[in-house]
């Protein structure tokens, strides 16, 4: 870490060696970890602020790539934010942590498989191109205000879906060119992914464009997004779905909570259902069973993402 000197890479202030425990002192970052900061301020940032964050991270990764350093675990929780909203990359490994088997074990243990390129997961092959894939996931996290990549899909389902061509959809109010840049980062063939220099240039040009609409989202009582969603074969609205499973009496409950999209319903948990005021155990069971069916259709139809 000490050899790096860039505005968007965390600065090492010093090392404390007194006592039995060695401590590393880094510059203070008042807003903490990026994903937590985004969740805390959901809907409160402008499109330019979000783009500026991404541009900063891209600048830091461009610098690291030019220095010949491969991060291998880039994610929003490996980025810190200061009081000026500048983003700085952290999460650098110690030399003894740089063995492939150790990295793969860490990926499994900390769910970094969600951010990792297919070749990194399957063959432990890390490169600047695998960092580019991870940066694409970070872009998605930023534009979705810190939402978990792939939602509640298991690691196995994520790996299989990605291998089959599944890619994350555009977050709510994300401009098409920005989502296209994400898709470019997620090319299966690593040679087809853009370089960080190109990514930085594209984001810089986007920042210079006229201010796009604010990146706001519906602020319901539950963290459910309202993205466009592929049509389900049997019904097209939440109301129709509730009627189909015999739970039409709860239409107003779903509407009041802002659950107006089938995609939102497909992501609900048992706690979410309870928070709607649905207290009868049998009704909860019926609704949760219906949600499981919706979720299965999502994965089967790749309705949560883009097929490439």
- Residue 112: the pLDDT is 84
CATH code: domain of residue 39: 1.10.510.10
Q: What is the pTM of this model?
A: 0.69
3-state secondary structure 36-68: HHHHHCCCCCCHHHHHHHHHHHHHHHHHHHHCC
Residue 39 has pLDDT above 90, yes or no: yes
Q: How far out from the chain centre does Cα 12 lie? A: 27
Residue 126 has pLDDT above 90, yes or no: yes
Q: How far apart are CA 291 and CA 308, in angstroms?
A: 27
Residue 13 has pLDDT above 60, yes or no: yes
**CA-based nearest residue to 207, from 168, 181, 189, 188:** 181
Residue 226 has pLDDT above 50, yes or no: no
23 domain residue, yes or no: no
Range of the domain at 257: 238-307
Residue 302 has pLDDT above 50, yes or no: no
Per-residue pLDDT, averaged over 51-70, amounts to 97
Q: Are 44 and 150 in a shared domain?
A: yes
Q: How far out from the chain centre does Cα 128 lie? A: 19
Burial of 306 (0-12, 13-18, 19+ CB in 10 A): middle
Give the best-scoring range by mean pLDDT among 8-12, 221-225, 253-257.
253-257
261 domain residue, yes or no: yes
In tens, the pLDDT along 245-285 reads 899 999 999 998 888 878 778 878 888 888 899 988 889 88
108 domain residue, yes or no: yes
| Angle in degrees, CA 89, 3, 22, rounded to 5 | 80
Tally of domains in the chain: 2
- Residue 71: the pLDDT is 95
Contacts of 225 (CB under 8 A, 6+ apart): 144, 147, 171, 172, 217, 218, 263, 264
Q: Are 171 and 269 in a shared domain?
A: no
- Residue 136: the pLDDT is 98
259 domain residue, yes or no: yes
Per-residue pLDDT, averaged over 145-161, amounts to 87
CB 270 within 8 A of CB 284: yes
In tens, the pLDDT along 79-97 reads 999 999 999 999 876 554 5
- pLDDT tier at 305, thresholds 50, 70, 90: low
Per-residue pLDDT, averaged over 65-71, amounts to 95
Q: Are 71 and 119 in a shared domain?
A: yes
| Angle in degrees, CA 108, 146, 308, rounded to 5 | 70
Q: Cα separations (Å) of 232 from 27, 293, 296, 300?
A: 50, 11, 11, 11
Residue 307 has pLDDT above 80, yes or no: no
Q: Are 71 and 142 in a shared domain?
A: yes
**CA-based nearest residue to 141, from 63, 225, 210, 84:** 225
Q: Are 48 and 192 in a shared domain?
A: yes
- pLDDT tier at 63, thresholds 50, 70, 90: very high
Give me the percent of the chain exceeding a pLDDT of 90. 45
In tens, the pLDDT along 175-217 reads 889 999 999 999 999 999 999 999 999 999 999 986 554 454 4
- Residue 213: the pLDDT is 47
Phi first, then psi, for residue 212 (nearest 5°) are -75, 175
**What mean pLDDT is reported for the chain?**
82
Q: How far apart are CA 219 and CA 216, in angstroms?
A: 9
- Of the chain, the end-to-end C-alpha distance in Å amounts to 37
Strand boundaries in the chain, DSSP class E: 12-16, 23-26, 32-33, 79-81, 87-89, 166-167, 306-307
Reduced to 3 states, what is the DSSP secondary structure of residue 160?
A: helix
Q: Are 128 and 181 in a shared domain?
A: yes
Reduced to 3 states, what is the DSSP secondary structure of residue 162?
A: helix
- Residue 152: the pLDDT is 78
Q: How far apart are CA 172 and CA 150, in angstroms?
A: 15
Q: Are 65 and 177 in a shared domain?
A: yes
23-43 burial: b if 16+ Cβ within 10 Å, else e: eeeeeebebebbbebbbeebe
CATH code: domain of residue 245: 1.10.150.50
């Amino acid at each position: 870490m000490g050899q790096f000197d860039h505005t968007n890479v965390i600065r090492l202030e010093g090392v404390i060696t007194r006592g039995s425990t060695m401590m590393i002192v880094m510059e203070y970052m008042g807003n903490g970890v990026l994903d937590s900061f985004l969740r805390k301020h959901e809907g409160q940032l402008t499109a330019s602020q979000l783009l500026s964050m991404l541009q900063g991270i891209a600048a830091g990764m461009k610098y690291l790539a030019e220095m010949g350093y491969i991060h291998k675990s880039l994610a929003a929780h490996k980025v810190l934010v200061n009081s000026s909203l500048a983003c700085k990359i952290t999460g650098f490994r110690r030399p003894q942590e740089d063995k492939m088997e150790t990295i793969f074990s860490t990926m499994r243990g900390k769910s970094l498989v969600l951010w990792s390129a297919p070749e990194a997961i399957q063959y432990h092959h890390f490169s600047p191109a695998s960092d580019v894939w991870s940066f694409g996931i970070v872009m998605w996290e930023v534009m979705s205000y810190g939402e978990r990549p792939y939602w509640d899909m298991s690691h196995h389902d994520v790996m299989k879906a990605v291998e089959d061509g599944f890619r994350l959809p555009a977050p709510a109010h994300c401009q098409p060119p920005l989502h296209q840049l994400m898709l470019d980062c997620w090319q299966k063939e690593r040679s087809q992914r853009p370089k960080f220099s190109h990514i930085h240039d594209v984001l810089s040009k986007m920042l210079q464009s006229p201010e796009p609409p604010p990146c706001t989202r519906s602020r319901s009582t539950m963290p459910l997004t309202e993205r466009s969603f592929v049509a389900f074969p049997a019904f097209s609205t939440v109301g129709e779905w509730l009627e189909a499973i015999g739970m039409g009496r709860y239409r107003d409950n779903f509407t009041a909570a802002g659950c107006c999209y089938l995609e939102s319903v497909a992501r609900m948990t048992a706690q979410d259902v309870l928070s709607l005021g649905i207290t009868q155990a049998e009704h909860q069971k019926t609704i949760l069973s219906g949600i499981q069916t919706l979720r299965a259709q999502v994965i089967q139809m790749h309705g949560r993402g883009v097929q490439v």
